[in-house]
């Protein structure tokens, strides 16, 4: 297990695609979470107005350190899901494309030990992404606050730790989903394609359309889906400002964490079964 | 444990795909410790499927196998096996050395073996270059190096000369000869029958998944003989019948084929000349492994 982890770590830490994905995630957070908002609020158009009736100075506090956790969590949603799903799919699927599955399996490790190494390293990379995510958010918010001459106040440490844990769990469950798809389809392209279709079409468009029915059964179904629970966990941290008409989380944070853990275990279990039983042709 | 005589034993090893495709059919193989074992068969005969089963990559439909004292795919067994199955596969964005470090991590052996393995396959000079930039010959050699870092007691090589240019074939041939020295067992699947004939102690030939022959190269090639062209033939025949026994002498297309050890050629020549018989041709004949292979597999052109 340790040997497989070492091998996997040596392999993935040197793979440019992994860090490109991380870079895209951080760039998206910095640009869409901070830079564009700051520019919009610092140089507002004449027609600018806030739906919540807030002033520009009040809106800007969303970009300051006191709100860096809440402001960043919004970026974890779709972008984080997609990128970590791709991370998991690439970590596994490329092995089939290069034919290295057979090279690894014939070297020595048992199949499940090799898989455990992959899961372990992808989990570490998800953790690195998580820490980097909040580090960039904290630095961006600090820079903006210093630039505006605002007071520097940070959220409580416990809130930061909770956000780190929640974000890692969300990244982890999506990356395990990507890995499971890649093992099932024995390639990364199909895994990424189907994963994206699921994230965007099922979790995104379908539930948005069904939401128009305002029916209880829709909410009941939603409670069992990965993306909806990830969204509920994000919402449980609150937003810098209460948005008029914003829907409440469909489940509590505790339930969302439980569902995400169950999903992660199911993905890992399905993957283990496939890895153990399938021929390498 | 090194006590067992056989490094590989299979018993009715079978792999069936669906209802109609029988890739390997009740295969019984024995590969003995320390020998170079040639594993031959035409394309699609089931060689690679057999090797994949021996390495635990695919599971047999029925039957059993023991490889290096363990069931196929057992990590402790794989520790003793170096292999190259079909094309060499490594991480294209990493150097040859980094790829070997990864493989040594998986194998649980120290990185100190990596440079020695690269030297062994003459890749030390290109060890820093990315695998994706390697020629086919270099890729094959890196695969052999990955097998060597475990210092395995058994090497399983599946068509190691596939895709190589003539220079690459020469280099690989030399490398395989080196690998086959000492106590190491080598199981070699190849289309290069001349090479297999030269370096193998024993050979198995399969066709359509079934074993059609297994034995030493000498056994498979059959008895050697001497062919003589003489005048007069009748007098020569009488002389040779008396000398060798009638059963050892056969007339073939105006010549006489003598089923005797070619070492007796000088004695036979003296006897014929001494009897006043003119000998215009006297040569030893042996079937090549290629002829045996073509006969047994029905692949003759």
Nearest to B118 by CA among B81, B146, B83, B95: B146
Distance from CA of B92 to the nearest CA of A (A): 8
Distance from CA of A276 to the nearest CA of B (A): 10
pTM value is: 0.84
- Beta-carbon contacts of B81 under 8 Å, excluding residues fewer than 6 positions away, are A106, B55, B67, B68, B150, B152, B153, B154, B155, B156
Q: What is the chain A residue with the closest CA to B76?
A: A108
B188 CB within 8 Å of a chain A CB: no
Distance from CA of B103 to the nearest CA of A (A): 7
Q: What is the chain B residue with the closest CA to A96?
A: B89
Mean pLDDT of B127-152: 92
B175 CB within 8 Å of a chain A CB: no
Strand arrangement of the beta sheet that strand B185-189 belongs to: B81-84, B154-158, B185-189, B36-40, B202-207, B210-216
pLDDT of A12 > 80? The answer is: yes
**Which residue's structure tokens are 């040639």?**
B38
CB contact under 8 A, A14 and B75: no
Is the dihedral angle over the CA atoms B102, B106, B110, B114 positive or is it negative? negative
Name the residue facing B90 among A15, A100, A109 (closest C-beta). Answer: A100
CB contact under 8 A, B89 and A103: yes
Alpha-carbon span B65 to B154, nearest angstrom:
15
| Residue range B227-248, pLDDT digits in tens | 999 999 999 999 999 999 988 8
Distance from CA of B79 to the nearest CA of A (A): 5
Q: What is the chain B residue with the closest CA to A100?
A: B89
pLDDT of A135 > 60? The answer is: yes
Q: What is the chain A residue with the closest CA to B59?
A: A279
Neighbours of A28 (CB within 10 A): 14
DSSP result, chain A: -HHHHHHHHHHHHT-HHHHHHHHHHHHHIIIIIIIHHHHHHHS--TT---TT---HHHHHGGGSGGGHHHHHHGGGTHHHHHHHHHHHHHHHHHHHHHTHHHHHHTTS--HHHHHHHHHHHHHHHHHHHHHHHHHHHHHHHHHHHHHHT----PPPHHHHHHHHHHHHHHHHHHHHHHHHHHHHHTSHHHHHHHHHHIIIIIIIIIHHHHHTT--HHHHHHHTT-HHHHHHHHHHTT--SSPPTTPPPPSS-HHHHHHHHHHHHHHHHHHHHHHHHH----
CB contact under 8 A, A110 and B75: yes
CB contact under 8 A, B78 and A106: yes
pLDDT of B269 > 80? The answer is: yes
- Beta-carbon contacts of B301 under 8 Å, excluding residues fewer than 6 positions away, are none
Phi, psi of B189 (to 5 degrees): -100, 125
Distance from CA of B100 to the nearest CA of A (A): 10
CB contact under 8 A, B93 and A106: no
B81 CB within 8 Å of a chain A CB: yes
**Over the Cα atoms of chain B, what is R_g?**
24
pLDDT band at B271 (very low <50, low <70, confident <90, very high): very high
Partners of residue A10 in chain B, C-beta under 8 Å: 98, 101-102, 105
Q: Which residues pair with B130 in a beta bridge?
A: B95
Name the residue facing A280 among B58, B88, B91 (closest C-beta). Answer: B58
Partners of residue B107 in chain A, C-beta under 8 Å: 3, 107-108
Partners of residue A104 in chain B, C-beta under 8 Å: 103, 106
Question: Phi/psi zone of residue B156: left (φ > 0), alpha (ψ -120 to 50 degrees), beta?
Answer: beta
Alpha-carbon span B121 to B30, nearest angstrom:
29
Note the ipTM here: 0.88
Partners of residue B55 in chain A, C-beta under 8 Å: 102, 105-106
| Residue range A51-99, pLDDT digits in tens | 767 788 888 888 999 999 988 888 777 888 899 999 999 999 999 999 9
Q: What is the chain A residue with the closest CA to B60?
A: A279
| Residue range B80-122, pLDDT digits in tens | 999 998 889 999 999 999 999 999 999 999 999 999 999 988 8
pLDDT at residue B299, rounded to an integer: 60
pLDDT band at B153 (very low <50, low <70, confident <90, very high): very high
Neighbours of A197 (CB within 10 A): 11
| Residue range B166-214, pLDDT digits in tens | 887 887 888 887 887 788 899 999 877 777 877 888 999 998 899 988 9
């Amino acid at each position: 297990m340790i040997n497989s982890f070492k091998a996997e770590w040596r392999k993935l830490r040197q793979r440019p695609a992994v860090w490109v994905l991380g870079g895209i995630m951080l760039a998206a957070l910095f640009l869409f979470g901070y830079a564009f908002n700051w520019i919009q609020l610092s140089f507002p158009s004449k027609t600018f107005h806030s739906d919540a009736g807030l002033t520009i100075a009040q809106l800007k506090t969303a970009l300051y350190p006191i709100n860096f956790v809440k402001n960043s969590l919004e970026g974890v949603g779709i972008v984080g899901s997609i990128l970590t799903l791709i991370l998991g799919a690439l970590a596994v699927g490329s092995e089939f494309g290069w034919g290295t599955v057979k090279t690894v399996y014939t070297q020595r490790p048992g199949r499940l030990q090799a898989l455990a190494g992959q899961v372990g390293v992808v989990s570490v990379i998800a953790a690195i992404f998580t820490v980097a995510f909040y580090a960039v958010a904290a630095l961006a918010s600090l820079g903006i606050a210093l630039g505006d001459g605002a007071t520097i106040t940070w959220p409580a440490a416990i809130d930061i730790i909770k956000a780190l844990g929640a974000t890692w769990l969300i990244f982890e469950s999506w990356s395990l989903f990507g890995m499971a798809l890649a093992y099932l389809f024995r390639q990364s392209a199909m895994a990424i394609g189907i994963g994206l279709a699921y994230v965007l079409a099922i979790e995104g468009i379908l539930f948005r359309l069904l939401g128009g029915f305002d029916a209880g059964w829709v909410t009941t179904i939603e409670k069992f889906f990965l993306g909806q629970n990830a969204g509920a966990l994000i919402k449980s941290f609150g937003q810098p400002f209460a948005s008029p008409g914003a829907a409440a989380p469909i489940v509590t944070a505790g339930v969302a964490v439980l569902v995400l853990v169950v999903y992660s275990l199911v993905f890992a279990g399905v993957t283990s079964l496939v890895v153990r039983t399938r021929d390498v042709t | 444990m090194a006590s067992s005589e056989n490094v590989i034993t299979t018993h009715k090893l079978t792999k069936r795909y669906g209802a109609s495709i029988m890739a390997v059919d009740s295969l019984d193989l024995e590969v003995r410790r320390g020998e170079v074992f040639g594993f031959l068969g035409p394309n699609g005969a089931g060689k690679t499927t057999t090797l994949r089963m021996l390495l635990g990559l695919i599971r047999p439909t029925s039957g059993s196998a023991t490889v290096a004292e363990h069931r196929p795919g057992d990590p402790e067994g794989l520790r003793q096996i170096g292999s190259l199955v079909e094309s060499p596969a490594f991480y294209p964005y990493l150097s040859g050395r980094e790829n070997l470090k990864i493989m040594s991590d998986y194998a649980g052996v120290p990185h100190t073996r990596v440079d020695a393995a690269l030297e062994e396959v003459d890749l030390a000079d290109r060890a820093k270059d990315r695998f994706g930039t390697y020629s086919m010959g270099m890729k094959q050699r890196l695969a052999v190096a990955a097998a060597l870092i475990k210092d395995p007691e058994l090497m399983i090589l599946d068509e190691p000369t596939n895709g190589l240019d003539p220079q690459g074939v020469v280099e690989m041939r030399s490398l395989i000869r080196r690998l086959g020295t000492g106590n190491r067992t080598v199981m070699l699947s190849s289309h290069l029958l001349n090479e297999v004939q030269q370096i193998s102690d024993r050979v198995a030939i399969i066709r359509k998944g079934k074993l059609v022959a297994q034995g030493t190269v000498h056994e498979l090639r059959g008895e050697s003989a001497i062919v003589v062209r003489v005048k007069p033939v009748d007098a020569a025949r009488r002389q040779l019948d008396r000398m060798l026994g009638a059963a050892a002498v056969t007339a073939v297309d105006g010549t006489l084929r003598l089923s005797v050890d070619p070492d007796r050629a000088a004695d036979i020549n003296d006897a014929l000349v001494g009897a006043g018989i003119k000998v215009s041709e006297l040569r030893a004949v042996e079937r090549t492994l290629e002829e045996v292979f073509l006969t047994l597999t029905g692949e003759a052109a």
